[in-house]
Structure 1
Amino acid sequence: MKFTDGYWLMRDGVAATFANRVADARVEENRLTLYGSTGRARGRGQTLNSPLLTVECFSPAEGVIGVRSTHHGGRLDPGPHFGLTPEAGHTAKTRVNDQVVELESGPLSVRIDADALWQLDFVADGRVLTSAGKRGTGFATAEGRHHMVNQLSLGVGELVYGLGERFTPFTKNGQTVDVWQADGGTASEQAYKNVPFYLTNRGYGVFVNHPGLVSYEIGSEAVGQVQFSVEDQSVEYYVIYGPTPKEILDRYTALTGRPALPPAWSFGLWLSTSFTTDYDEATVNSFVQGMADREIPLSVFHFDCFWMKAYQWCDFTWDPDVFPDPEGMLARLRERGLRISAWINPYIGQKSPLFEEGKRLGHLVRTPEGHVWQWDLWQAGMALVDFTSPAAREWYAEKLRTLLRQGVDCFKTDFGERVPTDVVWHDGSDPERMHNYYAQLYNDTVFQVLTEERGPGEAVLFARSATAGGQQFPVHWGGDCESTFAAMAESLRGGLSLGLSGFGFWSHDIGGFEGTPTPAVFKRWVQFGLLSSHSRLHGSGSYRVPWNYDEESVTVTRDFARLKNRLAPYLLRAGEQARDQGTPVMRAMVLEFPDDPSCHPLDRQYMLGDDLLVAPVFTEDGEVEYYVPAGEWTHLLSGERVSGPGWRRERFGFDSLPLLARPGSVIPFGARDDSPEYAWAESVTLRVHAPVDGAEVVTRVPAPDGGRPTVFRTRRVGGEVTVTAEGAPGPWSVVLAGPTGYGEPVPVAAGTDTVTLPVAD
């Protein structure tokens, strides 16, 4: 929130106090405690009638420094707290040089001159990354409410990213952002996934370790500062050094949790019943058969809300009027090779038989007076499951186990944002902090049930709400968007922002949710959706089967679904990178090209994995403007060479879009296009693009069972390219991209581990 009235004054009703000097410093072996005096005069008189701020500096991991500033330290802390994982065996070092005290954590240090005006400098590689200066550490009272306030400086040209899945402008400079869960759709400043973490293009990120409301002013109050405040007596934040954006995410997700790797089948195409449409088993079968008749490969069928009776969400019981034999129906769908997803939420409508059961057992959130909290928004008389209670979590989990035993494979965990603050939680949690954190408990509960019932590596959600740490429970989708090109673009902005907040896997409603897309919007969204980490056809009041639009929609859906299945070995490898280093599958251009300033603000294109540039088309006439970084890129669909750096404006038919392979890349194409589940290394084709003389490219093709990957090493020497396979199980082939397109595939017999080919430049 804003506290000042311009540069000099405070707003009416606001009083602010900031540390201005170090009154004392306690230096321990691996931490600093600074006492910030707030008085204006020096000497003994300042110690009277004047607040003293306690500022602790510590390090949970190399390259990460935490700062906790406290006004009054006697406040009880009922939680909840983000689950953080300090680096095992890590210790920081302190040093004192005259009046300068310093805490060092690997390449990152925090320094303060105890004899000067208050300023915490965060230093790496001989330069100051950011500083907390004269208004950098303090507190403010506004309308009788106490806020801890911090400011960290922004440099000239410094851009801020992240803070969750935000649909407002991609770079957050000039914005006010409240980290507060809300069901606001994709066309507002509200967000379903709020994460109090940002990173900048200057080599560091900042995580505020507070699960409740964190209010940010990003160059929007003090224009050279990022200000963040919480209504509390203490606030803790971590400065996380990179220097590259990937290294920042690596350190951040090591602290807050790595994304799990979803199962291979989840990377295929999902088809939904849509939301408020009429459907029964015959409708479902007609959709599934329609896809099969048109040779569109389908991996998952999703049942949205009305698989349950109206007014009874959630009772976890199939509506017998439309699904009289759910076990038989699910078995028949599974015989067709499909996995099943079912919609759920954490609310219990009063008409649901589970309402009285949950009320009697004490599993529903209560008011301070002891009543079950209820309202009529969304479901009539709905209550909220209290996931702070272990017994309530188990009660809810058992309902899900029944569905899994019937044949359901995964759940769309919808909602989780509309959480009241005028309630009492079973474990005594602070209601304000629980508002955001509820999503973590909800998704964790469901994810753990799936892991227990389906086994490690088989759990996957389709989740809408999340906060810091929620990346551990993929996949997340972008929420309710309109069926327009503008909404398609805002969805992409949100996904790229979420990826820069530590989330590795993301999806969106292909075609848009609200309304019905035009054929042009649908086809362009299909391209975008099937070049995303996860892909789901879903809408609100209209179906999203492609033949409802035009015949070309069928062709586009079939071709891009098959292309995605062939890219499965490439996408699964990108998924492993998300799991192991926190690098998202869909990457903002700044993440892959931090040294190219032209890439820093880009939000209408992205990298899919390391090596594929995707620029979705957002226009009716197929015109697209996109930026190509330096080097000779290759259009993956046509084989055309595209030179960078520079901007291009081109027009594409519905069978294509800018999809460029990075110079020097080797893209593995699987042998099958009917499913993402197969032995990816068997008969794999390696597409080699503009190899650099003397450089070696290592391509790892994962094994479906999680075993040892097949490794290909591609090296160019002069006019020849040599590819060597390690662990290839059978025949494979190589295709070289030349100046006039792709050459013919060169087959390599089973058992052959090396092939050498001439380069055509």
Structure 2
Amino acid sequence: MKFRDGMWLQASSKRVEYAEEIYSLTQQDSNKISLLCPTAQIHSRGDTLNRSTLTVDLEAVTDGILSVEVTHWHGAGDQGPHFDLFPDGRPPVDASIEKSDAGTTLTAGGIAATVTALPHTFDIRFHSTDGRHKLTSLLNRSVGLAYSPATSSPMQTADMRDFKHYILTQTTLGVGEQVYGLGERFGALNKVGQSINLWNVDGGTSSDQAYKNVSFWLSSKGYGVFIDAPERVELEIGSERCCRVQTSVEGQRLKWYIIYGPTPKEVLSRYTMLTGKPNKVPAWSFGLWLSTSFTTEYDEKTVNGFLEGMRERDIPVQVFHYDCFWMRGFHWCDFEFMSSHFADPKGQIARLKESGLITKVSVWVNSYLGQASSVFKEAAEKGYLLKRKNGNIFQWDLWQAGMGIVDFTNPEACTWFVDCLKKLFDTGVDAIKTDFGERIPTQDVRWHDTNVDAAKMHNYYSFIYNKLVFEALQHRYGKDEAVLFARSACAGTQRFPVHWGGDCESTFEAMAESLRGGLSLGLSGFSFWSVDIGGFEGYPNSTIYKRWVQFGLLCSHSRLHGSNSYRVPWLIDDDDKSEQGCSAVLQKFTQLKCRLMPYLYSQAMESIKQGWPVSVRAMGLEFPDDRTAWSCDQQFMLGSSILVVPVFDETGEVDFYLPRGTWTSIWDDSTIKGPQWVKEKHGFDTLPLYVREGTILIMGKPGAIRTVYDWTLPGEHEVRLYEPRADSRFSLYDAEGKLAAVLEAEEDRGVWNVKGMEARVRRLSKDQNY
């Protein structure tokens, strides 16, 4: 939201009052100071009258984190929900407050804020405690309150029913500073110049709307900002004032945290300490998921035929997913397999697992109940559905006819919903796709918990929805065996993986949009991410399908899914049996992922400890001082050591960037020295896949067809050394997520070996092929 008309004028529809000076500073605790900031300079006693003030509270939260809270009227209520912060416990803080002639400095470990001592001045500077790094500032006209429509007299605020009230802050943007994150956003990766509205919407991947709005952004200068506001947050990132990031919310207070790294990885680690680390997910979930697709016609025979066809083509499927129409139309979600198509779902699932065609089963659900279903009647009678203010159940015909929304602020509704899920678990279901959760109304609604703010519930609903289902899976299968396929999210929802990229078209452009969304989500603290391989909407031709297979199988999680057409490979290209056919490409990259599991799963264990993305990981995280790396949004890192470049062109031509160092192709061991831009052309059996110098890469033995096996055993793995150095090191985890060995490279008379476990080391040479 823009509050000004250029630099000089206020927007005609708004009145804005800015903090003009720091009138007084009060030390409240050893780690907190409070600033009283009038909206005019105070030169005489009379200037204190008929004047609004803003209170700015600065608190040292923990090492590297300060909070900033701006309040206008303190008497305003602060209804929930509130983000669940420090879920693993709040670490202690080494705080200090020092005063000098220049001002007052509050420190929290490595970060500090200095409040000016200059009279009639508003000036707060954020910097590293040692003074070496200037981060950002709150300067003149940077903290304010606003009314819309514009008021002409304070008397008008006696009745606020016709006015909206906002709090806004503007932090400075440095020259060349870039901004990333804010959830799964499909536009330009660098958000400078964009207006962003943090409001969950089911808008597909081709707009500025997003399913996953996360109120956290990461600066290329080594700090991040988490906005502690579940409600709608509007940002102008260099788009109202080119040199500032403006944050505004409707209400009487705005709180955010500034988090210092200094590296972007350290910022993410601290941010996810604040909002929660991703949970560990089981190794089986990294395998290929095959879906029925959305509106397709299918039954038990169809499912069996698809899985048998995949086995005939040596394409290992780990998870089979039943999408919406495992239930009857108009009856979503009644949690019942429709008997006309699935006479014996429990028996069928058991037989599929016993046959070895799959290991696990997933089903689609959501928290919307169509009124034709029996569960709607039950939930309505028991008061489990969201209501209108007049006491009626909130219903509309959006998505399902007469649909109601489960009210998860009602503990009894939560218990009931989990009981519905338990029936699915008893049938043999192992994972849940939690679709939707974005279309949560805010007008004319009454929640069971009358203490919650409807506007805050809109985004936050995705957190409580996914948390409930995830914890139900944990209770049934174990803490580290729970897996979701979730679409909606807000800050903190990274704790309940996995998330996928929503509804994309079957085009190269949509494939690139999806990648940008995954990169942005990874820069928002989410470790695991997937995408609809082949695109959701439309009919992918064989070229797009195969290029999407390459991309999708090198994400942390991989699912074949579509809307009104199947995604099994032989239906895409009339069962082309050549090495360049869809089946051969899917087979190769599925098996490649199985071979990469020792590396991939070990990287996942490190990533969830730190809050980093496994894949897709933005280049800037690994190469933070390389300005070109930050601009690369058509390639990504798989973990810390493997560079992946999807192909977005029918010709197979691709341009990509290699940062400084020697990079080795995983296919033929050819090397290229960076930094430089490279142009290559690839058939469908390869794409640019390069290993970073200094890497110890552990791969499974050739022929691995599952993602769960004991790759720590002799003969079950292969160790590759890529331009090893004395500091080359790799922590290897087993398929249970336990640290098995710490491998280090050592040189003995010009020959490099690996110590740390019994290993067969492959010595790379130019004439060896993958």
TM-score category, normalised to shorter length: over 0.9
The answer for the alignment partner of 1:589 in structure 2 is 619
Give distance in 1, aligned partners of 2:333 and 2:312.
34
Pairing of 1:405-424 with structure 2 (within 5 A): 405-422=426-443, 423-424=445-446
Pairing of 1:93-172 with structure 2 (within 5 A): 93-98=96-101, 100-116=103-119, 117-124=121-128, 125-126=130-131, 127-143=133-149, 144-172=163-191
Give distance in 2, aligned partners of 1:743 and 1:616.
21
Contact persistence 2:753–2:761 (CA under 8 A): no
Say if 2:71 is the partner of 1:70. yes
The answer for the alignment partner of 1:569 in structure 2 is 598
Contact persistence 2:65–2:258 (CA under 8 A): yes
The answer for the alignment partner of 1:444 in structure 2 is 467
Say if 2:249 is the partner of 1:230. yes
SS in 2 for 1:442: helix
Q: CA shift at 1:41, angstroms?
A: 4.2
Deviation string for 1:635-664 (max 9, x for gaps)? 111211122110011111101100000011
Say if 2:93 is the partner of 1:90. yes
Give distance in 1, aligned partners of 2:139 and 2:458.
32
Deviation string for 1:229-276 (max 9, x for gaps)? 000100100000011110000000000000011110000000000000
Give distance in 2, aligned partners of 1:706 and 1:534.
17
Equivalent residue in structure 2 for 1:720, among 723, 741, 751:
751
Deviation string for 1:320-362 (max 9, x for gaps)? 0000101101101121242000000110000010111101111
Q: CA shift at 1:221, angstroms?
A: 0.5
Contact persistence 2:183–2:520 (CA under 8 A): yes
TM-score, with structure 1 as normaliser: 0.95
Give distance in 2, aligned partners of 1:59 and 1:544.
52
Q: CA shift at 1:715, angstroms?
A: 2.2
Q: CA shift at 1:494, angstroms?
A: 0.2
Equivalent residue in structure 2 for 1:433, among 408, 432, 456:
456
Contact persistence 1:737–1:743 (CA under 8 A): no
SS in 2 for 1:228: strand
Specify whether residues 708 and 666 from structure 1 end up closer, same or farther in structure 2 by C-alpha distance, changes over 3 A only. Answer: closer
Pairing of 1:89-488 with structure 2 (within 5 A): 89-98=92-101, 100-116=103-119, 117-124=121-128, 125-126=130-131, 127-143=133-149, 144-335=163-354, 336=356, 337-422=358-443, 423-428=445-450, 429-488=452-511
Q: CA shift at 1:736, angstroms?
A: 2.2
Q: CA shift at 1:94, angstroms?
A: 1.1
TM-score, with structure 2 as normaliser: 0.94
Give distance in 1, aligned partners of 2:307 and 2:631.
41
Deviation string for 1:523-574 (max 9, x for gaps)? 0000000010000000000000011123211000000000000111111111
The answer for the alignment partner of 2:7 in structure 1 is 7
One-letter amino acid matched to 2:43 = R
Contact persistence 1:272–1:538 (CA under 8 A): yes
Contact persistence 2:223–2:267 (CA under 8 A): yes
The answer for the alignment partner of 1:736 in structure 2 is 763
Give distance in 2, aligned partners of 1:210 and 1:579.
24
Q: CA shift at 1:88, angstroms?
A: 2.5
Q: CA shift at 1:600, angstroms?
A: 1.2
Q: CA shift at 1:74, angstroms?
A: 0.7
Contact persistence 1:62–1:87 (CA under 8 A): no
Pairing of 1:556-705 with structure 2 (within 5 A): 556-586=585-615, 587-671=617-701, 673-682=704-713, 683=715, 684-692=717-725, 695-705=726-736
Contact persistence 2:21–2:41 (CA under 8 A): no
One-letter amino acid matched to 1:290 = G
Deviation string for 1:357-401 (max 9, x for gaps)? 101111000011111000001000000000111111111011001
Pairing of 1:737-756 with structure 2 (within 5 A): 737-738=764-765, 740-742=766-768
One-letter amino acid matched to 2:474 = T
Specify whether residues 245 and 408 from structure 1 end up closer, same or farther in structure 2 by C-alpha distance, changes over 3 A only. Answer: same
One-letter amino acid matched to 2:764 = A
Contact persistence 1:25–1:32 (CA under 8 A): yes
SS in 2 for 1:494: helix
Q: CA shift at 1:90, angstroms?
A: 2.2
SS in 1 for 2:728: strand
The answer for the alignment partner of 2:550 in structure 1 is 527
One-letter amino acid matched to 2:26 = R
Contact persistence 2:602–2:737 (CA under 8 A): no
Give distance in 2, aligned partners of 1:659 and 1:221.
41
SS in 2 for 1:332: helix
Give distance in 2, aligned partners of 1:43 and 1:670.
77
SS in 2 for 1:650: strand
Contact persistence 1:696–1:716 (CA under 8 A): no
Give distance in 2, aligned partners of 1:407 and 1:741.
49
The answer for the alignment partner of 2:741 in structure 1 is 710
Give distance in 2, aligned partners of 1:179 and 1:705.
37
Deviation string for 1:566-617 (max 9, x for gaps)? 1111111111122100011021000100011110111000000010000100
SS in 2 for 1:22: coil
Unaligned runs of 5+ in 1: 745-761
Give distance in 2, aligned partners of 1:378 and 1:282.
28
The answer for the alignment partner of 1:48 in structure 2 is 49
Contact persistence 1:58–1:92 (CA under 8 A): no
One-letter amino acid matched to 2:647 = V
Equivalent residue in structure 1 for 2:572, among 520, 526, 549:
549
Give distance in 1, aligned partners of 2:197 and 2:70.
20
SS in 1 for 2:180: strand
Give distance in 1, aligned partners of 2:6 and 2:95.
40
Q: CA shift at 1:91, angstroms?
A: 4.1
Give distance in 2, aligned partners of 1:512 and 1:703.
33
Give distance in 1, aligned partners of 2:198 and 2:83.
14
Say if 2:579 is the partner of 1:540. no
Q: CA shift at 1:43, angstroms?
A: 2.3
Give the length in aligned residue pairs. 737
CA RMSD of aligned residues (A): 1.2
Deviation string for 1:674-701 (max 9, x for gaps)? 1000012122111111123xx1322222
One-letter amino acid matched to 1:427 = D
Give distance in 2, aligned partners of 1:743 and 1:276.
43
Give distance in 2, aligned partners of 1:452 and 1:634.
44
Unaligned runs of 5+ in 2: 150-162
Q: Identity over the aligned pairs, expressed in percent?
A: 48
Q: CA shift at 1:722, angstroms?
A: 2.3
Specify whether residues 743 and 492 from structure 1 end up closer, same or farther in structure 2 by C-alpha distance, changes over 3 A only. Answer: closer
SS in 2 for 1:619: coil
Give distance in 1, aligned partners of 2:302 and 2:261.
51
SS in 1 for 2:506: coil
Contact persistence 1:162–1:498 (CA under 8 A): yes
